[in-house]
Amino acid sequence: MLEIRNLHVTVDGKEILKGIDLDVAAGEVHAIMGPNGSGKSTLSYVLAGREGYEVTEGSIRFNGKDLSEMGVDERAAAGIFLAFQYPLEIPGVTTMTFLKTALNAQRKARGEEELDAVRFLKLVREKAKPLNVNDDMLKRALNVGYSGGEKKRAEVLQMSLLEPALAVLDETDSGLDIDALKTVADGVNALRSPERSMIVITHYQRLLDYIVPDVVHVLSGGRIVKTGGKELALELEKSGYAGYGADAA
């Protein structure tokens, strides 16, 4: 599904990713762990196509297509979803309007029929319920005044509604207490399927107790320095990142 080859990425003239190779097959959940500044968020942004993240060398192929040819919204319509570490507050746009616009834009881009208000409402309520997202939250401006937990639940709701082929979760555990973390993880786990891949980016092992990965990679200094099974995360929890050429942060 995702093939990254020798990926070099520069931000503001500074090279952050220095030759990443990564293969994620359909249905797999990969965790990417690493200390602060190792390039974890850069990897997530470059997958989503954020402006200012320049690929200077190497390639990213998604379902056989070269991602560098695709704009941010085209990537989304093709099935890439990034759950933000810090979801943005958008005053004046209700969560409901946002979700409907996004879903219908993707459906339109894929040549599918757009959902009318009634069918959309039914669908969004069905998806929102297990995430404890009520109508009141949906009527409020997107993420405005949401607590940290509400923001992350709203991200998972977006993911559940948009049904991406590849979900990239950037530090989804940050700012969550254990109950909120469980709700979010349950939401993510419910979306695991043989057709859907996930990349879970995290600094801490804690999240991986709830979203158990198939493969764990350690990113340090812009390179993947170690790859292993889920036990690698536990190992890191004990020893920290000190052995991986970075400070133990």
Chain contacts with another protein (rule: CB under 8 A): 48-51, 71-73, 75-77, 81-82, 84, 87-88, 90-93, 97-98, 101-103, 105-106, 109, 141, 158, 162
Cβ proximity to another protein: between 64 and 91 the closer is: 91
Nearer to another protein, 6 or 68 (CB): 68
* Sign, Cα dihedral of 62, 64, 66, 70: negative
Q: Based on CB atoms, which residue is closest to another protein, 51 or 177? A: 51
Contact 35, 247 (CB under 8 A): yes
> In sequence order, which residues have a C-beta less than 8 Å from that of residue 111 and are 6 or more positions away?
none
Provide the minimum distance between the beta carbon of 79 and another protein in the complex, in angstroms, as a whole number. Answer: 10
Cα gap 66→219, rounded to integer Å: 23
CA distance 46 to 49: 5
Shortest Å distance, C-beta 126 to another protein = 19
The least CB distance from residue 225 to another protein, in Å, is 28
- Least Å distance between CB 140 and another protein? 13
Residues in contact with 61: Cβ distance below 8 Å, sequence separation at least 6, in sequence order: 2, 3, 4, 5, 67
Q: How far is the CB of 111 from another protein (least distance, A)?
A: 14
Collapsed DSSP state (helix, strand, coil) of residue 116 = coil
> How many whole angstroms separate alpha carbon 39 and alpha carbon 223?
8
Choice between 17 and 78, CB closer to another protein:
78
55 or 102, CB closer to another protein?
Answer: 102
